[in-house]
Copies of this chain bind each other. A is one copy, B any other.
Amino acid sequence: MNQNYIKPDSWSIIEEGFDKDLVKSSESIFSLGNGAMGQRANFEETYTGETFQGSYIAGVYYPDKTRVGWWKNGYPEYFAKVLNAPNWIGVGIKVNGEVFDLNTCKNVSDFKRELNMKEGLYKRSFKAVLPNDAHIKVDVLRFLSLNIDEVGAIEYTVTALGTDLEIEMEPYIDSGITNEDSNWDDKFWETTSVKSENHQAFIEAHTMKTNFKTCTFMQASFFVDGETVELEPSIDKGELRVGHSYSQVLKEGQTIALHKFGGYIVDRNHPGKDLVKVAQETLSKASELGFDELLKKQKQSWADIWEMSDIAIEGDVKAQQGIRFNIFQLNQTYLGRDSRLNIGPKGFTGEKYGGSTYWDTEAYCIPFYMATKNQKVARNLLKYRYNHLEKAIENAQKLGFSNGAALYPMVTMNGEECHNEWEITFEEIHRNGAIAFAIYNYYRFTGDYSYIPEMGLEVLIGIARFWYQRANFSKQKNKYVILGVTGPNEYENNVNNNWYTNYLAQWCIDFAVAQLEKVQDSFKDDYKRVVGKTQLTDGEVSQWKKVAKNMYFPYSEENGVFLQQDGFLDKQLITVSELPSAQRPINQKWSWDRILRSPYIKQADVLQGFYFFEDHFSVEELQKHFDFYEPFTVHESSLSPCVHSIQAAKLDRMEQAYKFYLRTSRLDLDDYNKEVEEGLHITSMAGTWMSIVEGFGGMRVKNDQLSFEPKIPEQWSSYSFKVNFRNNIIKVSVRKQGAEFELRGNDTLTILYNDAEIDLRPGVPTKAS
């Protein structure tokens, strides 16, 4: 843990007191998003202290020219960058003619930020003394509407303290923004029009190269002591920015409140030529509702989300705050409404990583969305990859593969690879397996097989072809081997026979073959279409089978465990507990070669395989592998602790499971990895959800039945969550004494509780212990 300033609260994230050193950290933590846009918790008013400005629009990116020290054949020319978008939240404030800036104030008191997760609101309040000795009180409320997701709203209230004050407020929009991580100082945006009319303003700008057209807009209205006032602005219109300046003298104790609506209209959803018109219509819609009504709807929308997705924990406020923060951020990032979007690793909270889609989506996020939304959301995520199949085939061709073999990119915005480290881009090929696994996982959980004949089978064929070509026969071993890969544990590069990768490769082929047979039997038309399109032959499939059947897996007889890769036992096997804490995190302290030859594991690797395929192994095998690998795991990836938490719970090691749970759920709140300033770790937040539902709750699907083996950490008196299993909503409540299941809907459902069948009837809570 690296920081400890967030106040424990079950429904809110709270910061008290103004600390300039924490501004960038809080800008990440208090971020807002509504699936369509989002922004860091930057101050609306001028701030000259250290800050990391960021507003983001879903699906709007820029292909920055790849920067690299030493070029390798096959690198993509471009790196799709999450773009800092025009700013619509800005509100310049002057008090008696002096710019108000928290960085220069003589005094700031009663400073408080609150991210009200229950209602989807971000509030900030404080008192400040300006250099000119003017005293003011400020209250700001901001939210991004879930109902009109192109609109955000700000209520910015200033109170004159101690004396009469002249307050000038300048709401503005600005397209003169930059990215912190630009490779070549390119200009990312071109602004084509800046308009101002009445109390509204509009800036049309498009991204360079990708030509995403956007209209950024705003509208302002004012209230003094709660009463509408009509103020006339003085307008400052530049080439990239437009601001409306309103002035009002407040008597001591009086307040002025600005209601600012703002946001973006993008040409993904509207014709590019109509963006200003659509922005005007959108502002009309918002105005008709009014600020208060929009706020009311916001609360209702979040109540609806929480109704299905909340996890309530009693007896442990920090654990409660952690899981709600995770669920809140996941819903802020992706709501599953648009199959062209995906779940970026930093959501709308930072620029780092670029691209929106990693294997995180399939390996960590899909279970959360499957269980807390309807199954269409998860299907959309699968469809996203189906839409990118052709590009995955092209990507494989660039790396020397042929005959429709598909390698999905490591990082992407539009299906094209946009990452450029050879040891990752070219070698971290296990991502292909996670994409196949998600197809299986979706079917296993939802029971919806239709995706496979319609789309998934083609994806599975491309992936099987890849693995078949990527393996080679080792005469020495008389087996097929997979050489030169990077597994999920990125602290090993270019290794041979990474167990996880080999296991997934074998499974992918077996699964593809099984689905081919099933589709051939039951979906003859689809089968004909797919075989025609992919030119698949029987001979080809039997070649695949040969590879899968004879796949090599490194194994240690002495330790009774599969080895992470060839040669793992040659390492100096000193456990993490023996590493001086001054050496950690090793990725900040050690050179790369030292990390590579060490036994330290960045994130679950063999154990990730045991997580995916738990039912292929006995509990004794899990225990052996857990005991072997956990002591070498440094969890320097956000994606690691959740898997270990689930497995520790499975092994009845509740204290350890709880520790991992805290680490995953409060990773960003407590800044374990010393990098929260750069943004939040969104995708791993879905892993936190898994660590409660699958870890403590023991939820699995066994033989087509939903199954639970609930446990509860010592520190908790109870917890409860809901899952949507095949359109049955089951609420699971766990106390120390036992569990209770409550079914919503019309039909009964038989579930497994500690492997015994229980019949649930709608509306009738069923106790089990």
Shortest Cβ distance from residue A502 to the other chain B in the assembled complex, whole angstroms: 12
- List of B residues within 8 angstroms of A421 by Cβ: 69-70
Q: Is A472 in contact with B572, judged by CB distance below 8 angstroms?
A: yes
CB-contact partner of A592 in B426, B566, B573, under 8 A: B426
Whether A567 and B496, one on each chain, are in contact in the complex, defined by CB atoms closer than 8 angstroms, is yes
A593 and B426 contacting across the interface, CB-CB below 8 Å: yes
A73 touches B597 (CB 8 A): no
List the number of copies, as a whole number.
2
| Docked complex: A565-592 residues within 8 A CB-CB of B | 566-567, 569-573, 587-592
Closest to A427 in B: B593
Residue from B67, B484, B569 in contact with A474 in the complex, judged by beta carbons closer than 8 Å: B569
Q: In whole angstroms, what is the CA distance A400 to B420 when docked?
A: 27
Output the nearest chain B residue to A583 by Cβ-Cβ distance: B400
Which candidate, A357-365, A475-483, A526-534, A606-614, is the interface stretch facing chain B? A475-483
Residues of B within 8 A of A593 (CB): 74, 399, 422, 426-427, 484, 494
Chain B residue at smallest Cβ distance from A479: B570
Give bound CA distance, A421 to B73, whole Å.
Answer: 15
Whether a CB of chain B sits under 8 angstroms from the CB of A309 is no
Verify A567–B399 contact, CB threshold 8 A: no
Does A493 have its Cβ within 8 Å of any Cβ on chain B?
A: yes
Q: What residues of B have a CB within 8 angstroms of the CB of A422 in the complex?
A: 591-593
Judging by beta carbons under 8 Å apart, are B569 and A567 in contact?
A: no
Complex alpha-carbon distance, A540 and B469, angstroms = 50
A66 at the interface (CB under 8 A from B): yes
Residues of B within 8 A of A571 (CB): 472, 474, 483
A481 to B567, CA, bound (A): 11
Contact yes or no, B398 A591, CB < 8 A: yes
At the interface, yes or no: A764 with Cβ under 8 Å from chain B? no
In the bound assembly, the distance between CA atoms of A481 and B70 in angstroms comes to 29
Tell me which of A70, A493, A497, A567 has the highest count of chain B C-beta atoms within 10 A of its own C-beta: A567
- Residue interface bits A63-88, CB-to-B below 8 A is 1, else 0: 00011111011100000000000000
Contacting pair A494 B493 (CB below 8 A): yes
Q: How far is the CA of A448 from the CA of B124 in the complex (A)?
A: 79
Contact: A591 with B474, CB < 8 Å? no
A570 adjacent to B477 (CB under 8 Å)? yes
Closest chain-B Cβ to A476's Cβ sits at a distance in Å of 4
Flag whether A473 is at the interface (Cβ < 8 A): yes
Contact of A589 among B69, B73, B497, B594 (CB under 8 A): B73
| Proximity bits, A396-415, B CB within 8 Å = 1, else 0 | 00111000000000000000
Cβ contacts A480-519/B at 8 Å (1 or 0 each) = 0101100000000111110000000000000000000000
CB of A596 within 8 Å of the partner chain: yes
Q: Which of A256-273 contact B (CB under 8 A)?
A: none
Q: Measured between C-beta atoms, what is the minimum distance from A412 to chain B in Å? A: 17
- Using Cβ atoms and an 8 Å threshold, which residues of chain B touch A427? 593
A595 to chain B, nearest CB (A): 9
- A474: chain B residues at CB < 8 Å are 569-571
User: Who on chain B is nearest to A559 by CB?
Assistant: B476
Could you tell me the distance in whole angstroms from the C-beta of A398 to the nearest C-beta in chain B?
7
A495 to B597, CA, bound (A): 10
With CB as the reference atom, state the residue of chain B lying closest to A569: B476
- A72: chain B residues at CB < 8 Å are 591-592
User: Among the interface residues A588, A591, A594, which one has the most CB atoms of the partner chain B within 10 A?
Assistant: A591
Inter-chain contact A597/B74, CB cutoff 8 Å:
no
A125 and B503 alpha carbons, distance in the complex (Å): 68
- In the complex, what distance in Å separates the CA atom of A13 from the CA atom of B422? 41
| A426-B69 in contact given A473-B572, A474-B570 (Cβ < 8 Å) | no
Closest to A399 in B: B591
In the complex formed, the residue of B with least CB distance to A480 is B570
**Quick one: given A400-B594, A591-B400, A596-B494, are A570 and B74 in contact (CB under 8 Å)?**
no
| Nearest opposing residue in chain B for A497, CB measure | B570
Residues of chain B lying within 8 A (CB to CB) of residue A68: 67-69
B399 touches A594 (CB 8 A): yes
Tell me which residues across on chain B come within 8 A of A590, comparing CB atoms: 73, 400
Residues of B within 8 A of A497 (CB): 570
Distance A422 CA – B68 CA, assembled complex (angstroms): 13
Chain B residue at smallest Cβ distance from A482? B597
Task: State how many angstroms separate the Cβ of A351 from the closest Cβ of chain B.
Answer: 15
Contact of A73 with B484 at beta-carbon distance under 8 Å, contacts A567-B566, A569-B474 already known: no
Flag if A73 contacts B592 (CB, 8 Å): yes
Instruction: Give Cα A573 to B483, complex, Å.
Output: 13
B483 lies within 8 A of A426 (CB): no
Q: Which residues of B contact A567 (CB under 8 A)?
A: 483, 496, 566-567
Contact pattern, A 165-182, Cβ under 8 Å of B = 1, otherwise 0: 000000000000000000
- Contacts A67-B67, A421-B69, A493-B494 given; does A74 touch B591 at CB 8 Å: yes
**Chain B positions within 8 Å of A400 at CB level:** 590-591, 594
B426 pairs with A476, CB closer than 8 A: no
- Which residue on chain B has the smallest CB distance to residue A587? B73
**Chain B residues with Cβ under 8 A from A70's Cβ?**
420-421
Q: Decide if B570 touches A496 in the complex (CB within 8 Å).
A: yes
Q: Once the chains are docked, how many angstroms separate the CA of A398 from the CA of B665?
A: 35
Residues of B close to A596: CB separation below 8 A = 483-484, 494
| A473 contact set on B, CB distance < 8 A | 572
How far in angstroms is the closest Cβ of chain B from A441? 28
Chain B residues whose CB sits within 8 angstroms of the CB of A597 once the complex forms: 472, 483-484
| A492–B67 CA distance with the chains assembled, in angstroms | 24
Q: Nearest Cβ in chain B — how far from A406, in angstroms?
A: 16
Beyond A475-B573, A567-B567, whether A420 also contacts B69 by CB under 8 A is: yes
Q: A570's contact among B66, B481, B573, B588, by CB below 8 Å, is which?
A: B481
Q: How far is the CB of A389 from chain B (nearest CB, A)?
A: 20
Q: Which residues of B contact A588 (CB under 8 A)?
A: 73
Q: Can you name the residue of chain B whose Cβ is closest to the Cβ of A69? A: B68
Does the CB pair B569–A566 fall under 8 Å? no
> Are B570 and A73 interface neighbours, CB within 8 A?
no
Measured in the bound complex, the distance between the Cα atoms of B67 and A536 in whole Å is: 45
Please name the residue on chain B nearest to A493 by beta carbon.
Answer: B494
Most chain B CB atoms below 10 A, which of A398, A472, A483, A570: A570
How far does the alpha carbon of A300 sit from the alpha carbon of B125 in the complex, in Å?
A: 88
Q: Tell me the chain A residues, 34-67 only, with Cβ under 8 Å from chain B.
A: 66-67
12 residue pairs A–B, Cβ–Cβ below 8 Å: A67-B67, A70-B420, A73-B587, A73-B589, A399-B593, A427-B593, A472-B571, A475-B569, A483-B596, A496-B567, A496-B570, A567-B567
A residues lining the B interface (CB < 8 Å): 66-70, 72-74, 398-400, 420-422, 426-427, 472-477, 481, 483-484, 493-497, 566-567, 569-573, 587-594, 596-597
Known contacts A69-B420, A72-B591, A73-B591; 13 further A-B pairs (Cβ under 8 A): A69-B69, A73-B588, A399-B593, A422-B592, A472-B597, A473-B572, A477-B570, A483-B570, A484-B593, A484-B596, A493-B493, A496-B570, A566-B566
5 cross-chain pairs, A with B, having the tightest CB-CB distances, nearest first: A74-B591, A426-B593, A484-B597, A476-B569, A68-B69
